[in-house]
Amino acid sequence: MSGGAVVGTAAIYDPSTKAWTNSASTMAIARQYHTATLLSNGKVLIYGGQDTLGAALNSGYLYDPTLDTFTAVTAGNTRTKHIAILLADGATVLFAAGGT
């Protein structure tokens, strides 16, 4: 959320310059209460949460920081206010708890 609004963008922080840069691309479905999990390939899995009306989502995106793009991923279980943990294989993400 940004000032009370649900947004579909990302902001990237560069600790070397202490500067924020907004992503040029946006997610088709804005969300809140989602997770963002850094994968071993450098992409970020953004999943679940709630839309602007408060409905739980079963969709997500892969964010590629190199290309600054969001790509939709196959829908799975509906999750909101959950946790997501990257497992030891570096590619599998465990989703637990949260509401549906």
Bridge partners of 32, per DSSP, are 50
Handedness of CA 20, 26, 30, 32 (dihedral sign): negative
d(CA 46, CA 29): 11
- List per-residue pLDDT tens for the chain, 100 residues long: 445 678 898 999 999 999 999 999 999 999 999 999 999 999 999 999 999 999 999 999 999 999 999 999 988 889 899 999 999 998 899 999 887 6
DSSP 81: S
Tell me the pTM: 0.87
